[in-house]
Every structure is written in C-alpha cells, then in structure tokens.
Amino acid sequence: MMEKNNIFSISEHTGYSASTVSRVLSGKAQKYRISQKAVSIITQEAERCHYRPNLLAQSLRTRKTHTIGLLVPGIENPFFSNLAAILINLLDARGYRTILADSRESADEELQELEMLQRGGVDGIICVPVSESPEVHEKVSVQIPMVLIDRYFRDTTLPYVCTDNYTGAKMAAELLLKKEYKCILAIQGVPGSIPNQERVSGFVDTLEGHHIDFDIVGNAFSIENGYRETCRAFGKKKYDAVFAFSATILLGVLKALRERNRQIGKDVGVVSYDNNGFLEFMEPAITCIEQPLRENAELAVASLFSIIEARNQGAPDPEILQQLMPPLLIERDSC
C-alpha cells in the first residue's frame, strides 16, 4: 500500500494522473509520449517526498538489478561530484541505485571500470568518457544501454547530452572584448577532451582578428594547474584578464593572483567556466559561464531509460539523442 500511496501523493501534488506518474517512475515516459516537462516535474516531486518503489518485487518480476553504473573522470572534482549528486537523486527517484566509478582521467582505468560494471550486471551506464575513441563504449553499449554526459565523441552512434562548450567559450570571449581587455590568459583543462577542445575553438575564433594578445596554457581541470600556470604566465607578461576553463582551475588562479597582490575585478578581470555555488559569494563575485547541469542530467536519464525500456520489450533502440545544451553567461563583479 505504501507504494500506491506514494504514487497517488505524487499525482496529487503534481497534477498528473497516477498512471502517468507510474509510467514516468518506471522508465516508460518515452513509450507513452510523456513530455520532458512532465518527467521533470514528476521526478523532482519523487525526490522531494523520498519515493521508494518495491524493488524486490520488481527485481523478481523483471530479473533486473535496478542499478545504474555512473562513471566519472574524477569524483574529487567539485563539478563531477555535483553532477553525480544530481544524477544519483534522479535515478533514486526512479527506484534505481547507483554504482559510482572513477576513471581518474585514465583510459586504462576507464576500461577496467566499464568491465567491472558489466560484471556487476547493471541495467544501464551513464558515462563521462575519457578515451580518445568510442570503440570500447560502443562495444559495451551493445550489451548494456549507455548514455554519455558532459563529454562525447564526434563520430559515434552513442547517445549523449553535453553543454555547447564552443558557444560558452565564445560568450566569455565576447564579454572580454566588450570590456576592452587587451592581454588575456586562458588556462585550459585536459587538452584531449572534447569540451576543452571546443572551449579553445570558441575562444580563439572569437578573439582572432581583434588585435588582442592572448595565450592558452595548461593541461588539467585542477587547482594545481590554475595556480601553476598563473604563476608562470604572470612572471613573463602583464595580463589584464584571465579565462579559467573550470571552477577548479579558477581557485588556483585566484590564489596566484592574490599572492601577487593583483586585485580581481580592478587590476585583472576574471571569468570562469562553470558556476559552482561558491562563486556568487566570493569577494568579488565571479563572472562565469553556467552549464545547465540538471537539464543535462534529466535528458541523459530519460534517454537511458528509453533504451532500457525498449530492450526490455524486445524492441529496437529508440532514435539516438545527441544533444548540445545552451550555456548561460552570468555577469558579476570580477569582470
């Protein structure tokens, strides 16, 4: 009775019928053509009221484990820990547990973790890939439904949901042009990752032809990289702006600038990619490019469950979702 009461409670609070709620929470939204808006509202309400389906009964009936593998490149990175938290809550609202794995930005580790998830019998995988080729992921996806998030491969049959990083970097560069900065340091993350490559392209394409002096340095989405490269660069040249390709890089930038008594927002303009919650409360508050993490996560989860449901019914996989989501420029006091 508790399951029914929860479903009817969610129905009452969202305004959707109990059958619609049940279909969304059992991963059948796409089959019944339920809108993404309805899916979002229902799953958020399920999170809020801590809805729990009867997993034992479902497992006995379907012979599924009701677990999803989540593979990220570095759980110590606040961006990926935040993304993981959102995904875990969304999966939990659907009655699925999450097995969290960390590839540590290593293709070899990624292969081992994917093999571990396969052996664990997960019902699906959400992956932030680190390999240069989709070959391994596509092979795994034949047996286990997989959706990529945050990073993707340019030539792949795998579904993915990522931010439009080219546009995000373009927005940051256009703001720096508008503010009339003349010598800009960009500190990048992992050079081989698609998001990083697209940020480089968007930044460079925007600034070229504007007689702006700029440099791109760095090799990791880490505090150490931001600190090290800022120290090196400012020891050679007097930059008037810095574009950090992640909030973790930003923290290293801020430490290096303050050690040099450079006032952020006055002596040096600063823009960060990503909008971690602390950026708004820093002094000065940091201008940033915000990624739509929850929207990305909701689409990735919906896509994964549409594949799971199709395969459960012996139907062909649904149309592949390959989506780049628009970022948002948030102007604050640092630039």
Residue-wise pLDDT tens digits, 126-179: 999 999 999 999 999 999 999 999 999 999 999 999 999 999 999 999 999 999
The CATH number of residue 18's host domain is 1.10.260
Domain end, chosen from 15, 32, 53, is at 53
Give pLDDT, residue 2: 40
What is the separation of C-alpha 89 from the centre of its chain, rounded to a whole number of angstroms?
A: 14
| pLDDT confidence of residue 316 | 94
> Structure tokens of 63?
């012979």
Say which residues have a Cβ less than 8 Å from residue 146's Cβ, sequence separation at least 6.
124, 125, 126, 127, 137, 140, 158, 159, 304
Instruction: For residue 253, tell me if it sits in a domain.
Output: yes
Would the pLDDT of 24 be above 90? Answer: no
Partnered with residue 213 across adjacent β-strands are 183
What DSSP string runs through 148-170? EES---SS-SS-EEEE-HHHHHH
Query: What would you measure as the largest C-alpha separation in the chain, in angstroms?
Result: 70
First to last CA, the chain: 56
Would you mind telling me the total number of residues written for the chain in this entry? 335
- The domain in which residue 38 lies consists of 1-53
Domain of 215, CATH number, reads 3.40.50.2300
The pLDDT tens digits for 57-106 are 454 445 578 999 999 999 999 999 999 999 999 999 999 999 999 999 99
Cβ within 8 Å of residue 86, ≥6 positions away? 293, 294, 297
Burial (0-12, 13-18, 19+ Cβ within 10 Å), 65 = middle
For the stretch 233-290, pLDDT in tens is 999 999 999 999 999 999 999 999 999 999 999 999 999 999 988 899 999 999 999 9
Residue-wise pLDDT tens digits, 313-324: 999 999 999 999
The Cα–Cα gap between 292 and 106 comes to 26
Q: Position 279: which residue type?
A: L
Token representation of residue 226? 């931001």
In a domain, 33, yes or no: yes
Whether residue 185 lies inside any domain: the answer is: yes
pLDDT (mean) for 182-194: 96
On whether residue 286 sits in a domain, the answer given is yes
Of the three residues 11, 27, 53, the one that is the final residue of a domain is 53
> Rounded to 5 degrees, what angle do the CA atoms 82, 83, 84 make?
90
Domain membership of residue 202 (yes or no) is yes
Assess if residue 180 is contained within a domain. Answer: yes
Q: Is the pLDDT of residue 5 over 70?
A: no
Rama region for 184: left / alpha / beta (φ>0; ψ in -120 to 50; rest): beta
CA distances from 267 to 46, 68, 171, 216, 270 (A): 48, 48, 22, 20, 10
Contacts of 275 (CB under 8 A, 6+ apart): 247, 288, 289, 290, 291, 330
pLDDT score recorded for residue 54: 54
Q: What is the pLDDT of residue 58?
A: 53
Which residues sit opposite 329 in a β-bridge? 289
Q: What is the pLDDT of residues 195-234, one digit of tens each?
A: 999 999 999 999 998 999 999 999 999 999 999 999 999 9
Classify residue 326: in a domain, yes or no. Answer: no
107 pLDDT band, cuts 50/70/90, is very high
Number of domains observed in the structure of the chain: 2
Per the domain annotation, does 311 fall within a domain? no
pLDDT at 44: 86
Question: Residue 134: is the preceding peptide bond cis (ω within 30°)?
Answer: no
**How far is residue 60 CA from its own chain's centroid?**
33
pTM (global) more than 0.85: no
- For residues 246 and 274, the answer to whether their CB atoms sit within 8 Å is yes
pLDDT band at 52 (very low <50, low <70, confident <90, very high): low
Mean pLDDT of the chain: 92
pLDDT band at 26 (very low <50, low <70, confident <90, very high): confident
pLDDT tens for 286-299 read 999 999 999 999 99
Model confidence at 56, pLDDT cuts 50, 70, 90, reads very low
